[in-house]
Every structure is written in C-alpha cells, then in structure tokens.
Chain A
Amino acid sequence: AQSVSQHNHHVILSEAASLELGCNYSYGGTVNLFWYVQYPGQHLQLLLKYFSGDPLVKGIKGFEAEFIKSKFSFNLRKPSVQWSDTAEYFCAVISTDSWGKLQFGAGTQVVVTP
C-alpha cells in the first residue's frame, strides 16, 4: 500500500536558521508530490507541488522542495526561517492511477522562536 513518511514530528529552531523537512514515500509508479502547510488557526493550504520536469520546485514564501526519484524523497527546505513560518507541514502524494486521492504524511510541527 502507498504510504508517506515524514521524518520528524516536531522541529524547533530559531529565526534565520535553515529548515529541512524530510519526506519519503513508498510507491513504485509515477507520483505527484505536494507539501501543504497549516498555520495556527488557519486552513490547510498548498505550499508547493511537483508533477514533472525540474525536480527542484519553488513554492510560496521562499520554500522549495527537491524530488529525488532514486530515493523516493521530496524534502522541503527554506534557507532562513521566520517566526511566521511556525506551522504544521504535511507531505502528500497522489499516485497516477488514483483520481485526486491524496495520501498524507503524519505532519511535522515546526516552531520558530524569535
């Protein structure tokens, strides 16, 4: 069965530090990959997505993610975080043989301290 693993459940870091959140999926076929973010008190929203092409994708608010097919990974990065990046981050996958069925990871709670 398809699954998504996020390496860390909680991350605490200071402003201006670099952030990298790991995401691995288990599915042998073609996939589309996503990172969603949920800021405190807000809805889940799309941060970035990868369908095909350049494996390095850029999203909103300075985030980027790199798809490494050989490692089944789609790690999220931001070079310098801000206090406003405090949120929960979810990696998600859609396999190409499913219609819109997002498979989410368990999420990583990121806390950025001033």
Chain B
Amino acid sequence: EAGVAQSPRYKIIEKRQSVAFWCNPISGHATLYWYQQILGQGPKLLIQFQNNGVVDDSQLPKDRFSAERLKGVDSTLKIQPAKLEDSAVYLCASSSGTTRYNEQFFGPGTRLTVL
C-alpha cells in the first residue's frame, strides 16, 4: 500500500511570509497527525485529526498556525506569518481505527527553512 505522502519536501521562505504544507494519509486511515521536529529534538505533536474533526490542538500556535482536513482525507498545515523559529521538519502521520493507539505511519516530512 502507498505510504503517507507530503509535499513539498523542501521549502525556503523569508520571515513574515506564508507557507502551506500538504499531506495525503494512507487510504482509509481515520486519524491524521502533524508534528514539528526542530533540529536536535524529537517530533512534537501540533494537531491531531479524527476524520475531519480536531482531537488535540493544544500545542498548535494558533496565532500563526492553522490546519484543516477537508472531507477527512487530505490535510494542509499553514503558517502565516512565519518566524525564524519555525524552521523545522514538519511531519505528517496517519493511523487507522479509533482506539487509543494504532500504529502511526509517518511521511517523509517537509523541511522548512525560514530566513
């Protein structure tokens, strides 16, 4: 089966610009996650969707970050405006089922550099 797809793979922008990332989860996976991984740190959950509803967005900086998952499939994560500290790899993951834990499958990530 196809894995989690993300685009673009790399993005370089200047501070105060806007940027959007796209994720296509594994077909049939109800749960979708966005993580932020800053260099030298482990991934940190930004937002979790169950179908098209938000389960957890407690660590999403809502003044500048937004995410949506239309029709419970693809998802986009947007940053507007970007700051230098947003430089990181943004990982998308998906999992099946609605139990407390199902294995999460990760995409290749989008590496964002903010200058």
Point out residues on A near B: beta carbons under 8 Å: 4, 9, 32, 43-46, 49, 51, 90, 92, 94, 96, 98-102, 104-107
Q: Which residue of A lies closest to B98 (CB)?
A: A99
Q: Which residue of A lies closest to B59 (CB)?
A: A101
Q: Which residue of B lies closest to A105 (CB)?
A: B42
- Do B3 and A106 touch (CB < 8 A)? no
B24-44 to A contact mask, C-beta < 8 Å, 1/0 = 000000010100000011111
In the complex, what residues of B have CB within 8 A of residue A46's CB? Answer: 103-104
In the complex, what residues of B have CB within 8 A of residue A92's CB? Answer: 42
The interface residues of chain A, by DSSP majority, are classed as loop
Point out residues on B near A: beta carbons under 8 Å: 3-4, 31, 33, 40-45, 48, 50, 55-56, 91, 93, 95, 100-109
- Do A104 and B108 touch (CB < 8 A)? no
Chain A nearest CB, measured from B7 CB (Å) = 14
- Do A101 and B45 touch (CB < 8 A)? yes
In the complex, what residues of A have CB within 8 A of residue B50's CB? Answer: 99
Pick from B101, B106, B108: contact of A100, CB below 8 A: B101
- Do B42 and A100 touch (CB < 8 A)? no
- Do B43 and A44 touch (CB < 8 A)? yes
